[in-house]
């Protein structure tokens, strides 16, 4: 039986969900971005989705950078 190959995009979604569950500061930033974007009127839902994706990517990228700068002894 061949093994199923999990798409990288799915793995990224799982990873980001885990990061937000485990990091209160990032979770609060995520909620803030979503609330701000949801309060706006969008001509097309895709415009909201694109803006949300950019905002969330910034949060997760910043979190990864700070986590990569930690020294572990």
Distance CA 56, CA 10 (A): 15
pLDDT in tens, 17-62: 788 888 888 889 889 988 999 899 989 999 988 888 887 787 777 7
Query: 37: closest CA among 48, 21, 50, 25?
Result: 48
Task: Write down the pTM of the prediction.
Answer: 0.62
Task: Give me the pLDDT at residue 1, please.
Answer: 52
Q: How far apart are CA 39 and CA 31, in angstroms?
A: 12
């Amino acid at each position: 039986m061949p093994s199923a190959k999990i798409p990288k995009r799915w793995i990224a979604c799982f990873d980001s969900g885990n990061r937000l569950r485990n990091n209160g500061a990032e979770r609060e930033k995520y909620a803030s971005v979503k609330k701000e974007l949801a309060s706006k009127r969008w001509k097309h839902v895709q415009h909201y989705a694109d803006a949300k994706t950019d905002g969330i990517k910034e949060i997760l990228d910043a979190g990864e950078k700070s986590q990569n700068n930690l020294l572990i002894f």
